[in-house]
Amino acid sequence: MTRSVALAAFIVLALPAAAPRTVLAPPVEVTCTFANASYAGDCVEKATREEKEKPEAACKPILDCLNNPQCVKTYCQATTIRQGWTLKSAE
pLDDT means per 10 residues, the chain with 91 residues, are 60 58 81 98 96 94 98 96 98 96
For residues 36 and 86, is the Cβ–Cβ distance under 8 A?
A: yes
Residue numbers of the domain that contains 63: 26-90
Q: Is residue 14 part of a domain?
A: no
Q: Is residue 68 part of a domain?
A: yes
User: Helices marked H in 1-84 — which ranges?
Assistant: 2-18, 55-66
Domain count, the chain: 1
pLDDT of residue 54: 95
Can you give 7-25 as a three-state secondary structure string? Answer: HHHHHHHHHHHHCCCCCCC
pTM for the full predicted model? 0.72
pLDDT of residue 27: 83
pLDDT of residue 16: 57
Q: Is residue 13 part of a domain?
A: no
Alpha-carbon torsion (63, 67, 73, 74), positive or negative:
positive
pLDDT of residue 51: 86
Q: Is residue 31 part of a domain?
A: yes
Q: Is residue 49 part of a domain?
A: yes
